[in-house]
Every structure is written in C-alpha cells, then in structure tokens.
Structure 1
C-alpha cells in the first residue's frame, strides 16, 4: 500500500464546510467508496464530474480539496484491491462512549453516501447476486442508525463496533460483486462441438 493515509475526520470536515462543499468527511468517503465499489474507473477522471455534480452543483472543487479526495480514493482503492478483507472508514474517532452518538451519525452518513455512490456508478444492482442484494438491504437498514442517549452508552458503543464491522463486510461484498467482477475480462465462449 502507498504512503497515503486516511485524513483526520474533523479537519477534512472543516475544510469541506469552509469551501462550501455539501458533504462532511464521512459522507465524502462513503460516496467515493460506493462509486469505487460500483465499478467506476478511477484511472479516468470521470469520477470527478460525478463528485462535483453530487456535492457542489456541478462546480469544480478547490484544487487542494480535490487532491485530498483523489488521495482518499486512491487509498481506498489500494486497500480494497489487496483482497485482505479490510476497509477503513472515515468517521468520527473516539474511545469516549459519550461520543457514541457522533460516531453512529458518522456511520449513518457514510452508509447513506456509500449507497448513493453505488447508484451514481450505475452498478446494475437489480442484476446482482442474492448476496449483493442482501448486503445492500443490510446497509439500507444501517443507514437509519440512531443511538438513544437514554440507553447505556457503553453498551451502545460495543454494539456500534459490531455494526461498523458489518458495514465493512457489506461494502466489501458489494465491491467484490460490482467492481472486481467488472474488471475481470469476459471469457470467450467456446463453440459447442458435436
């Protein structure tokens, strides 16, 4: 893997907000990961036009933010391409259970935009396998995630860790279905000999 690393959630969110971009860091990463998992070609710059349309009314981003988005996309592509069954999420980071609601909101933001990214990549979801459809259904449920502040926050934080791991597994399953299979060359059909 390259020397790229994930950006700081708060710093990137602040920079996006200051530039008037209509997403936070979790939403941006979810969107890019969804586009990637849907099979969008990152060697072309088509993904940039999709990103601009979705997040900034078609207007280009400031160059420093576009470079950060490109680095994030490259990092994620390298991570999922290793087939190590690992995926990092750009979400609020805290070990403090008082922040469990912010983390849950970040996960919901990430998932909502991941689903949008799949759609923007024009992946043929309806033609997907049952596994892919189930993973997408699970993500749709996770997108409604909310934590009740009256519940035991320590217990909620533990449950949230399981939700995050399941989110990663679903995203990787969809990536395997739509991105990896799209990259595989079609096998020529052999004529039947009689």
Structure 2
C-alpha cells in the first residue's frame, strides 16, 4: 500500500494558476493517469513534451509546475503498481475543499475526459483491447458526459456519485491491467542449500 496521499486540490490549483497554466488539477492528474494506464514507461520522461503540447501549446512549464506534475505521476505509479492495494486516487474537488456536488461532478468529468485523452496521447492500441477494457472505456466515455441536476434530490445524487467514482476507479484499473507497464520483478536468485 502506498504511504503517500494526493495533495490538496486547492494547493495544486493555486500552483498551476500561479504558473499561468490553463489546466485544472483534475485535468492534469487524469491526463497523467491515462498516459500511465495506456503504457507510459515508469521511468520515462516522454510525458513532459506530451503534457506541454497538450496543455500549453508546446511551451515548457515552469520548474515548480513540472515538479508538481512529477510528484503526481510518481504517486500514481506507486498506486497503480502496488500489487496489494488495487486502489487508485482521483485528484478532484472533494469535501476537504468544501466542494459542492456540482463542483465534484465537474471535476470528475474533467478527470475522466483527460484520462481518455492521456490514453490517446501515447497511442494506446485501444482497437485491439479486450472486451473488458473496451467496456471500461465505453463506461468512462458515458461518465464523462454525466452532470448533476440541481433540481433533483441532491442527497440521492451524492450517493450515486460515490458509486460512479468507485466505478471510474474500477475502469481505470481494468485498462491499466491490460495496457499499463508493470515494474520489473527482481530476478529470482537461486537458493543455495
């Protein structure tokens, strides 16, 4: 299990805004997790030019923002390659930042849309995906379109929202299991008796 947690959403949003980057924490994290789940190498810095192209017209980010993105990437690698936890965190607005249900849903939509974009950025071979991964991707595409109707029962929608988040996590883990790079296992050393 990973010992780290994702940073506060507002902290990351402020850092990105101060760096004059028009990307939200949810978008950034979704994009990075999408690239990882699609097969980005675990020790590969090829994500940086892709990120710059996608978010900043190819212009490099300030070092502080690159460091934040690298920290998010490292955290996500740790989660996605932990063979014991089968857990993935989503950096979206939450109760810790007093987010409304609408803000949470918007953040989830941003995260999912950018996760799908991340898969595309590294040219994941989705046409050759298993039925499970194709179904997971289809579900994510539908979830990306969801919204909250403020005139309906918000308490009921909040409960449904929590279920949707868990389903998103399951979809991400399904896609990562098929396309994501796994850490190299140490070579088995023979036991001498």
CA contact (8 A) 2:81 2:182 kept: no
Instruction: Give yes or no for the alignment of 1:89 onto 2:90.
Output: yes
User: What are the residue-to-residue correspondences of 1:126-145 with 2, within 5 Å?
Assistant: 126-145=127-146
Match of 2:180, SS state, is helix
Residue in 2 that maps onto 1:5: 5
Take 1:133 and 1:105, find their aligned partners in 2: how far apart are those partners? 24
| Residue deviations 1:48-72 (CA, integer Å, cap 9, x gap) | 1111111111111111111111011
TM-score (normalised: structure 2): 0.89
Match of 1:132, SS state, is helix
TM-score (normalised: structure 1): 0.88
Take 1:116 and 1:149, find their aligned partners in 2: how far apart are those partners? 28
Match of 1:12, SS state, is helix
User: What are the residue-to-residue correspondences of 1:160-179 with 2, within 5 Å?
Assistant: 160-179=161-180
Take 1:74 and 1:96, find their aligned partners in 2: how far apart are those partners? 23
After TM superposition, where is structure 1 displaced by more than 2 Å over at least 4 residues in a row?
Answer: 1-5, 95-98, 180-184
User: What are the residue-to-residue correspondences of 1:106-125 with 2, within 5 Å?
Assistant: 106-125=107-126
C-alpha spacing 1:104/1:11, structure 2 compared with 1 (3 Å) = same
Unpaired segments ≥5 residues, structure 1 = 185-194
Match of 2:31, SS state, is helix
> CA offset at residue 7 of structure 1?
1.5
Take 1:19 and 1:142, find their aligned partners in 2: how far apart are those partners? 30
Unpaired segments ≥5 residues, structure 2 = 186-193
Take 1:97 and 1:181, find their aligned partners in 2: how far apart are those partners? 36
Residue in 2 that maps onto 1:34: 34
Match of 2:67, SS state, is helix
C-alpha spacing 1:46/1:180, structure 2 compared with 1 (3 Å) = closer
> CA offset at residue 73 of structure 1?
0.3
CA contact (8 A) 1:97 1:154 kept: no
Indicate the RMSD between aligned Cα atoms, in angstroms.
2.1
Residue in 2 that maps onto 1:43: 43
Match of 2:108, SS state, is helix
